[in-house]
Amino acid sequence: MRAAAVVFAWVAVAAGAADLAPVSSWTERRIAGVAPAQVSRVRDGDATVLQVRASAASGGASVTLEMEAAQRPILSWRWKVDRVVQGADLSKREGDDFAARVYVFFDVPEEELPFATRVKMTLARLVHGETLPTAALCYVWDNRHPPGTTAWNPYTDRVRMIVVESGPARAGQWVEARRDVEADFRAAFGARGGAPVPAVTGIAAGVDTDQTGETATGWFGDFRMEPRR
C-alpha cells in the first residue's frame, strides 16, 4: 500500500540551479516496493527526450531546483503517450495510474502543516532516508476526465491532481502543455494569508501503471519555467 511518502519518493529536495536542466541529465527515480518503469533517453529529431515505459510498474526521472514560483511561474513542456490507461480512475486508490504525469514540488514550511501530516512526514523520512517535499501539483494525461478537472490524490491531501490532457484522441503525437504553477498552487492549497507561494524544489515526470497492471509509454521534453509575459 502506498503512503504519502511514496507519492513523493521521485525527488530528493536540494538546492540547485535556477534553470531546468535538460532531461538527459535528470535523475531516475524508483518507488520502493513497486516494479520500476523502464527509463531511457531517446532522440527526437535534434532533441533528446525522456522515455518512460511502465508495464504494471511506476517510475520516472526528476530534477532538483530552488526557484521562486512568483518570479518564474509559467511551466511549459511537451509530452506524448502511446495510449491512455483504460482502467484508471483518479478518484480511487486502485485507479491511481496515468499514461503520463508531471509533478511540481513545493517547499511548504512544516510548521504550516497539520500535526498529523507532520507526523507522517517524519515517519517518511525514517523510512526513505531523504528530505521529502511538503506539497505538490501533479499534472496528468488522464483517460476520461476533461482537461481542467482537479482532485486530491487518493493517498494524500498534499498532492493536487490536475488533468491537462485526456483521452486517446492525441495519443501518438507530441502535445504542448503550459501551466501557471503559482496560480495552480493557490487554487489547490489556498492563499496562505497573502504570503508568497513557496519555492519550487523539484520537477518529476513519469508513467504509472502499477495499480491497473496495464502497459503504457510516455515521452517528455523541453521543460521550461519562465516569467509571465
CATH of the domain at 143: 2.60.120.260
**Is 143 within 8 Å of 85 (Cβ atoms)?**
yes
A 10 A CB-CB count for 56 gives 15
Pairing of strands 159-166, 135-142: parallel
d(CA 84, CA 93): 17
d(CA 72, CA 56): 36
Look up the domain containing 143 and give its range.
Answer: 4-226
Would you state the cell numbers that stand for residue 129, as one nine-digit string?
532516508
Q: What's the pLDDT tens digit per position in 50-99?
A: 999 999 999 999 999 888 888 999 999 999 999 999 999 998 999 999 99
The type of residue at 170 is R
- Strand 200-208's sheet: what is its strand order? 27-29, 58-67, 200-208, 98-106, 135-142, 159-166, 150-152
Q: How many domains does the chain have?
A: 1
The CA-atom distances, in angstroms, between 42 and each of 51, 134, 195 are 7, 32, 41
Q: What's the pLDDT tens digit per position in 62-71?
A: 999 888 888 9
Q: What's the pLDDT tens digit per position in 128-187?
A: 445 556 789 999 999 999 999 999 999 888 899 999 999 999 999 999 999 999 999 999
**Is 93 within 8 Å of 154 (Cβ atoms)?**
yes
A 10 A CB-CB count for 175 gives 15
